[in-house]
Amino acid sequence: MDILLINPRIDTRQRPPLGLAYIAAILKQNKISVAIFDPLPSNDICNKLSNIIIEHNPKIIGITLTTPQVALAYQLSRTIKEINSKIIIVVGGPHVTATAEEIIKNKDLDIAVIGEGDYTLLDLFNAILNKKNLKEIKGICYKNNDKIIRTSPRPLIENLDDLPLPARELLDNKWYSKRGSLIRGLWLRTATVITSRGCPGACIYCSSHITFGRKIRRRSIANVLKEIRYLIETNGIEGIFFCDDTMTMNKEWMLSFCKELKKLSKRVVWACQSRVNTIDEELLREMKDSGCVQIEFGCESGSQKVLNALKKNITVEQIINAFNLTKKAGIRT
């Protein structure tokens, strides 16, 4: 095996690591052998990882992590180096992007990926294989003796349609899509899909913009429908949870998307995340007609003072109005 990708999972939610699946798809496209390890929390994760390393001997191991996953990621990194100190450990994800210079000080970590990492691991693999200078790789941070080096930023991917569909075939799709609670209260085979990256919001607690930028980049409707058809035909999916930070930011795109959803040979129900100042009666009606059953609004507080401090750029009145309109349309909030 060339590369092993790890999600140091600390919960049991049925959400697959789509970020790793996108990276894996690019690696597979370039004839690089890759696997994904996304274990449920247990006391024997290190033993399971040890067995995989001993059996497959990966050259590089990539670990994605958010802040709550740091301790487990460090533990797994120690295990990897104890088995084979020559394995190169690459870390990425929101926490790494925010704290690259700090996290790379850990003695077991070799390279930190900053920002969108879809193509970074491919570039790293080729550079390491051909013994090239890592300074040529954009969007990374690494140690050179006692010096920490941060390379120039990697540009954001402008056309998301250029990305291959996530390599879900490397995941246990029976478990991820088993009838459960991704869409609350519905006993459906459900999958997660991302249609856009980036958020123009200025919320002070959110890490989205440091990874994906403040400009929204959208996949084409045809590209998203291709993925949904694949999920229906391959995994028998009945529901979709869209993981976009704010799916409803572009009303015209949403209206067109809803019209196309209604043309699918097999209808699916769906849910998404939204902001209270991005919906109206027309949009909600179209969303409902195309199968939307649930919208998760990021409200954070019922206090205008707190909302202002968080830089949410919404009002309490907008929150109340959005919930009233959504419930009127027959969509759960």
State how far the alpha carbon of 68 is from the alpha carbons of 30, 93, 104, 254, 279, in Å.
Answer: 32, 12, 17, 33, 32
Distance, CA of 219 to chain centre: 15
Q: What is the DSSP string of 172-218?
A: -HHHHTSSBSSSTT--B-EEEE--EE------TT--HHHHH-SS-EE
| Cβ burial 294-307 (10 Å sphere, 16+ → b, else e) | bbebebeeeeeeeb
3-state class (DSSP) for residue 318: helix
| Cβ burial 188-201 (10 Å sphere, 16+ → b, else e) | bbbbbbbbbbbbeb
Residue 253 φ/ψ, nearest 5 degrees? -60, -45
| Gap between the Cα atoms of 311 and 215, Å rounded | 17
State how far the alpha carbon of 186 is from the alpha carbons of 15, 183, 229, 269, 294, in Å.
Answer: 16, 6, 21, 10, 10
Residue 211: burial class (beta carbons within 10 Å; 0-12, 13-18, 19+): buried
Output the six-digit token pair for 135: 């300074």
| Gap between the Cα atoms of 6 and 293, Å rounded | 33
Mean pLDDT by 10 residues, the chain (333 residues): 96 91 98 96 94 96 96 97 97 95 96 96 94 94 93 96 96 82 84 95 90 94 97 93 95 98 94 96 98 96 98 97 98 96
Q: What is the pLDDT of residue 182?
A: 80
Report CA torsion sign: 201, 202, 207, 211.
Answer: positive
Q: What is the pLDDT of residue 81?
A: 97
For residue 295, the cross-strand partners are 272
Output the six-digit token pair for 318: 């907008």
| Gap between the Cα atoms of 74 and 89, Å rounded | 11
| Gap between the Cα atoms of 146 and 225, Å rounded | 49
| Gap between the Cα atoms of 210 and 98, Å rounded | 7
Site of tokens 């759960």: 332
Residues 276 and 318 sit within 8 Å (Cβ to Cβ) = yes
State how far the alpha carbon of 14 is from the alpha carbons of 11, 71, 173, 189, 197, in Å.
Answer: 9, 22, 10, 11, 21
Question: How many Cα atoms within 13 Å fall on the side-chain side of residue 115?
Answer: 19
Vertex 47, ends 91 and 173: CA angle to 5°? 70
Residues 315 and 307 sit within 8 Å (Cβ to Cβ) = yes
pTM of the model: 0.94
Residue type, 34: V
